[in-house]
Structure 1
Amino acid sequence: MSAAVALKEVIFYTFLKPWLGDGLLLSTGDKWSRHRRMLTPAFHFNILKPYMKIFNDSTNIMHAKWQRLASGGSACLDMFENISLMTLDSLQKCVFSFSSNCQEKPSEYISAILELSALVSKRYQQLLLHIDSLYQLTPNGMRFHKACRLVHDFTDAVIQERRRTLPSKDGDDVLKEKAKSKTLDFIDDEDGKELSDEDIRAEADTFMFEGHDTTASGLSWILYNLARHPEYQERCRQEVRELLRNRKSPEIEWDDLAQLPFLTMCIKESLRLHPPVTVISRCCTQDIVLPDGRIIPKGVVCIINIFATHHNPTVWPDPEVYDPFRFDPENIKDRSPLAFIPFSAGPRNCIGQTFAMSEMKVVLALTLLRFRVLPDDKEPRRQPELILRAEGGLWLRVEPLSAQ
């Protein structure tokens, strides 16, 4: 349906408002249309290409840490913790041209994001706490607003630091410099145009959460699935080695992304089994007639269960089995494009899906090139919050591979 007919459902998304403001995820109507139109060019291929170096560099920092931790032969690591820091580091550099070195030191920001995510999910399950005035008086309500302040202070500081570097140059100088470096960060793109400071913060908070946390979830579960299927892990590794065989330095470039078909199939099958966002919801603003003649009445809230759609046995035979060949081009032809919706679908689909897929391919390729990933003794228990996590973290063992 059009974005005007199937609006975001109000209750759950309202709980996110104090944190994420009126950004792309939560805004509606003309404001959403205007912002989506303004921000779409920031995800054009020509803008994304230079980010490849950032993806490589941030992954290299994470891997250097893993090499130190696994100096005894192997290390057991919480993938969520490690990869969240790496994707946050990467996103700050892409979106704000800002480096916080968050991979090298504890991150209050990451801790606050984890807390906010858990608190919003808990609140939704307790009807009495849907009342704002009551929720604010509870210990969880106070923790929520404290974490919101921390996240907003962090984003404000990054925005102000970025703004501080811009006024010293006039517009032409900035554009010339960006043309030379062939990058375009978030503030450059919108500074002086139609976005207020409040709008920029809302979009920045939305991008910072949606852009690092979902990708970290996706990558963590991909490594988990490949750890449990060493034959697929090894096939991906050989594909990457073949691609980089005659290179002086192991760096994944933009044109390489299309040269990793099996690795891409493995990513997609993991996103099917473990979609980072498990559920979305929409409110119908008019009666909607289904193909069989039944009607969804105006005003009804529809839950689109991405996790259940991806595990529907009438669409996906043996849905719990990890089988990358489901995404072989020959097997895709007769399947509905709406059977696989890890990035949602329709006009309000994920604006950053090409960014996310590009980053996941780079990180996975370099990780498998340098490490063997093995399952931990304890099987993780899936924990759906705002994104799909694992209770107590997702622990895997990594073994450095000798340089070849």
Structure 2
Amino acid sequence: MGAPWMETGVPRAGDGLLLSHGRKWVQHRRLLTPAFHGDLLKSYLGIFNQSTRVMHDKWRAAAGPTGAAVALEVLDQLSLLTLDSLQKCIFSHESHCQQQPSEYIKAILDLSTLVVRRQQHLLHYPSWLYRLSGDGRRFTQACATVHGFTAAVVQRRRQALRRLGHQAWLDQHRGQRMDFIDLLLLAKDEDGNTLSDEDIAAEANTFMFAGHDTTASGLAWLFYNLACHQQHQDRCRQEVQELLKGRDVEDIEWEDLSRLPFTTMCIKESLRLHPPVTAVSRRCNQDVATRDGRVIPKGVICLMSIYGTHHNPEMWPDPQVYNPLRFSPENSEGRPPLAFIPFSAGPRNCIGQSFAMAEMKVVAALTVARFRIRPDTARPPRRKTELILRTEDGLWLLLEPLPKGA
């Protein structure tokens, strides 16, 4: 999912797809698109299942031997899950970050916190002044940690590719899953141009930053909505249990993703009601005439509210009501495609949306199959818009482990 990282003037993820423009953006978008093809996403399903299993084992341990419902703050735990998955998918790196501290993961989480905090302090806007502050020094250190990790991985892979040669390197990887770095190292456009090490590192960092907390936010709000609507949760659970019936291993496979229609409707309705990214901006590269005859001049930056679009009563009757059946085939017929834009829209829409939806389906399906989710009435969530849609003081839910095979 995309995330609106602000232009702070301090190096963050590099000049990746999220921030680049012009010819560079066009070239990179073309080179990166194959990395999100279905055949390649299929190889990531095992990672999604594995990372979800680790999180669920933690939840069962927290519930104790009695298996009683336990109150848990889920947004932070889901952030660790998505970071765990992304490190494996991008770098083939096993950090065990869901179970033990990781310097790299801590740096990414610190950067997310510091960017938001900088937005709230006017005196921190000038880069030279920010660098002198305690937050600025922490930011610089966290950037160095993240950039150093990524650069080291890219350099090692590049050296191996040069040492073996292109064909021998491919032969060595035949039958194995390629990660994001591998695919970018091999990417070439029609003129034979490749990405530099700096470009690859920037795209990998962008994917890590923009992909982890947005997907975690989407999942956390989905679980909250299912917790508040037990009838929809029960229907999802029944759908998943029918799918998994008779299997030796309780995993979601690639072919299963299209066999979860109601679960998919629940995900989409949650993304409508609680979009992780609440707004996006675009600079007009030409005059734009609106239907009422007014003109938005070239060069103007327009802020488009995804949250407002998703709550427009003309498109969505009773917009505050969580109703997954809005996305049934019959109810979706004739609806304008731009009425639902959780991944933005147009040429600069989120390149990772299929990746995010696949991960959300796996985590959602396995969670409702293994746990009953209820709201924590003592700690109702209060929405808080930062880089993503979060909550004040976390998003707390009651998780009750279900018996195996229940």
**TM-score normalised per structure 1:** 0.91
In structure 2, C-alpha distance between the alignment counterparts of 1:16 and 1:221, rounded to whole Å: 32
Show the counterpart of 1:143: 138
Show the counterpart of 1:4: none
In structure 2, C-alpha distance between the alignment counterparts of 1:242 and 1:148, rounded to whole Å: 46
Quick one: which amino acid aligns to residue 291 of structure 2? P
Show the counterpart of 1:35: 28
Distance 1:58 1:167, change over 3 A: farther
CA contact (8 A) 1:109 1:151 kept: yes
User: Do structure 1's residue 185 and structure 2's residue 182 form an aligned pair?
Assistant: no
Q: Write out aligned runs for 1:319-338 (5 A).
A: 319-338=319-338
Q: Secondary structure at the match of 1:335?
A: coil
CA contact (8 A) 1:16 1:120 kept: no
Q: Deviations over 1:291-349 (max 9, x none)?
A: 23210012211001111111122221221111111111111112211111110000000
Quick one: which amino acid aligns to residue 186 of structure 1? F
Show the counterpart of 2:403: 402
Quick one: which amino acid aligns to residue 105 of structure 1? Q
In structure 1, C-alpha distance between the alignment counterparts of 2:48 and 2:164, rounded to whole Å: 28
Distance 1:53 1:89, change over 3 A: same
Show the counterpart of 1:92: 87
Q: Deviations over 1:271-300 (max 9, x none)?
A: 111111111111112211122321001221
Aligned-pair CA distance for 1:166: 5.0
- Alignment counterpart, residue 114 of structure 1, candidates 106, 109, 112: 109
User: Do structure 1's residue 24 and structure 2's residue 17 form an aligned pair?
Assistant: yes
Q: Percent identity?
A: 59
Quick one: which amino acid aligns to residue 56 of structure 1? N
Q: Deviations over 1:223-277 (max 9, x none)?
A: 1111111111111000000111122211111111011000000000111111111
Gaps of 5+ in 1: 1-7
Q: Write out aligned runs for 1:140-219 (5 A).
A: 140-160=135-155, 162=157, 166=161, 169-181=164-176, 183-191=177-185, 194-219=194-219
Show the counterpart of 1:380: 381
In structure 1, C-alpha distance between the alignment counterparts of 2:18 and 2:138, rounded to whole Å: 23
**TM-score normalised per structure 2:** 0.91
Distance 1:62 1:173, change over 3 A: farther
CA contact (8 A) 2:17 2:28 kept: yes
Moved more, 119-128 or 133-142: 119-128
Q: Write out aligned runs for 1:343-354 (5 A).
A: 343-354=343-354
Show the counterpart of 2:391: 390
Distance 1:340 1:97, change over 3 A: same
Q: Write out aligned runs for 1:274-293 (5 A).
A: 274-293=274-293
In the comparison of the two structures, how many residue pairs are matched?
A: 394
In structure 2, C-alpha distance between the alignment counterparts of 1:379 and 1:14, rounded to whole Å: 33
Aligned-pair CA distance for 1:208: 0.8
Moved more, 155-164 or 335-344: 155-164
Aligned-pair CA distance for 1:365: 0.5
Distance 1:115 1:391, change over 3 A: farther
In structure 2, C-alpha distance between the alignment counterparts of 1:146 and 1:48, rounded to whole Å: 33
Moved more, 71-80 or 185-194: 185-194
In structure 2, C-alpha distance between the alignment counterparts of 1:75 and 1:109, rounded to whole Å: 29
In structure 1, C-alpha distance between the alignment counterparts of 2:220 and 2:246, rounded to whole Å: 29
Show the counterpart of 1:269: 269
Show the counterpart of 2:129: 134
Show the counterpart of 1:3: none
Gaps of 5+ in 2: 189-193
Aligned-pair CA distance for 1:369: 0.7
CA contact (8 A) 1:383 1:389 kept: yes
Distance 1:148 1:245, change over 3 A: same
CA contact (8 A) 2:275 2:389 kept: yes
In structure 1, C-alpha distance between the alignment counterparts of 2:111 and 2:185, rounded to whole Å: 29
Quick one: which amino acid aligns to residue 37 of structure 1? R
Show the counterpart of 1:258: 258
In structure 1, C-alpha distance between the alignment counterparts of 2:40 and 2:203, rounded to whole Å: 18
CA contact (8 A) 1:273 1:322 kept: yes
Q: Deviations over 1:133-171 (max 9, x none)?
A: 233233333332232223223333444555566566432
CA contact (8 A) 1:97 1:162 kept: no
CA contact (8 A) 2:8 2:127 kept: no
Q: Deviations over 1:187-237 (max 9, x none)?
A: 222226622221111111101111222111111111111111111111100
In structure 1, C-alpha distance between the alignment counterparts of 2:48 and 2:237, rounded to whole Å: 18
Distance 1:266 1:394, change over 3 A: same
Q: Secondary structure at the match of 1:19?
A: coil
Aligned-pair CA distance for 1:382: 1.3
Aligned-pair CA distance for 1:393: 1.6
User: Do structure 1's residue 78 and structure 2's residue 78 form an aligned pair?
Assistant: no
